[in-house]
Structure 1
Amino acid sequence: MKTYLTIFCVVALAWGMASCGDSSDSTSVDAAGKHNEKLLESTGKDEKAGWFVAEAASAGMLEAELGRLASSKAQDARVKQYGQLMLDHHTQGNKQLKQIADLKNLITPTSLGEDHQEIYNELMSQSGAAFDKAYMQSMVKSHKETIDRFEQMANEGTDLELKNFAAKTLPMLRAHLEQAEQIEDALEA
């Protein structure tokens, strides 16, 4: 009996490890993107939409988590206020994206991608005026990248719900970028 139980445990462990993915260092974003790509490809749909979901969710999580950090850690009141705005808006945006993804059986990452985690860790190590400047620089860069991703989906996407989501979100993202640039300029003055 012990032999069968041992064999069963070894087989179950091997199967579980094999189902975890190709490499142990793949991020939640990679796992979500690969899952989504395979699902959409198998149904004849545009697999780029799956990567959009994974990458946009990670970017939204980054902006929300950095917003949470800025709302408590920033020295300048404008940076604190902007951080709270990012937390509120990007948390809501990610909820909307997750609802769309769930309807399509797509998955969203549950943690930041490696690049986004590095940005978070770097900002976490900053304090005072240096944090404020680094945070605002990060928000300008992050929003430019996010806007590019959303414009591509809004203009070239074939999934109607994701295309509409991207198009409706773009004005907010552009407003965030404009605010971030204004605050960044004010901090430099």
Structure 2
Amino acid sequence: MKNNNVWMLLWALMVSCTVLSSCSDDDDDAMDQDKTRVAAFLQSAAQSDMFEIMTGTMAQEQGMTDDVQMFGEMLVEDHTMTAGQIMEMADERDVNLPTTLPAAKMTIVNRLDSESGITFDKDFANAQVQSHQEAIALFETADQQITDTEVQAFIDATLPALRMHLQHAQQVKATVDGM
């Protein structure tokens, strides 16, 4: 009977080790998946900031209306701050950030660069509405998928500003569309 108990104990120990091992593998997979999501988010958010800084600078220089120029100034200031935070988080996590915009965003930048006056203002306002809708969607998706607490805190702190920028872009768009 004692021999049977020893075998039962050994069997239970082996099963426990197997279960713990597979749990550990699941935890590793979840951590790897979160790291991948964090890296993708930081890279996309960095490109979003880069676009906002570039077009905001253009708005300050090429914008015809005060609304466009002031909105451009706000974009440069706010997105320069968040770009710095993204760089810090990326450095801490060994994530390489892109140094160029995606082709679609570069097309918008090039188009805006060739415009002036009210044409620029209208195109800039449209681009800002679209880019902030995209940024909000990016941040909301990341907010649901990422478990990294520092990145979560950044998302939670940044989303209200992005929503405010979208409202501002919609107001600027309504103003310049009426011209």
The alignment's TM-score, normalised by the length of structure 2, stands at 0.79
Q: Residues of 2 paired with 1:44 and 1:131: CA distance?
A: 44
Query: Does 1:150 pair with 2:139?
Result: yes
Query: Does 1:91 pair with 2:80?
Result: yes
Give the letter aligned to residue 69 of structure 2.
K
Query: Does 1:139 pair with 2:128?
Result: yes
Runs of 4+ residues over 3 Å off in structure 1: none
Q: Residues of 1 paired with 2:150 and 2:142: CA distance?
A: 10
Deviations 1:101-130, CA, capped at 9 Å, x for gaps: 111111111222222211111111111100
Unmatched tracts of structure 2, length 5 or more: 1-27
Q: Residues of 1 paired with 2:51 and 2:69: CA distance?
A: 16
Q: 2:90 aligns with which of 64, 88, 101?
A: 101
Q: 2:47 aligns with which of 54, 58, 72?
A: 58
Contact 2:48 2:135 in 1 (8 A): yes
Q: In the TM superposition, what is the alpha-carbon distance from 1:83 to its structure 2 partner?
A: 0.4
What's the counterpart of residue 16 of structure 1? none
Query: Which runs of structure 2 are paired with 1:1-189 in the superposition (5 Å)?
Result: 44-46=32-34, 47-189=36-178
Please provide the CA RMSD for this pair.
Answer: 1.8
Aligned residue pairs, count: 150
Q: Which protein has the bigger helix share?
A: 2
Deviations 1:58-108, CA, capped at 9 Å, x for gaps: 011000110001001100011000001111111111000110111111111
Q: Residues of 2 paired with 1:168 and 1:123: CA distance?
A: 30
Give the letter aligned to residue 44 of structure 1.
D
Unmatched tracts of structure 1, length 5 or more: 1-39
Q: In the TM superposition, what is the alpha-carbon distance from 1:44 to its structure 2 partner?
A: 2.4
Give the letter aligned to residue 155 of structure 2.
A
Please give the secondary structure, in 1, of the residue aligned with 2:140.
helix
Q: In the TM superposition, what is the alpha-carbon distance from 1:156 to its structure 2 partner?
A: 2.2
Structure index of larger Rg: 2
**Which protein has greater RCO, CA pairs closer than 8 Å, 6+ apart?**
2
The alignment's TM-score, normalised by the length of structure 1, stands at 0.75
What's the counterpart of residue 33 of structure 1? none
Contact 2:37 2:145 in 1 (8 A): no
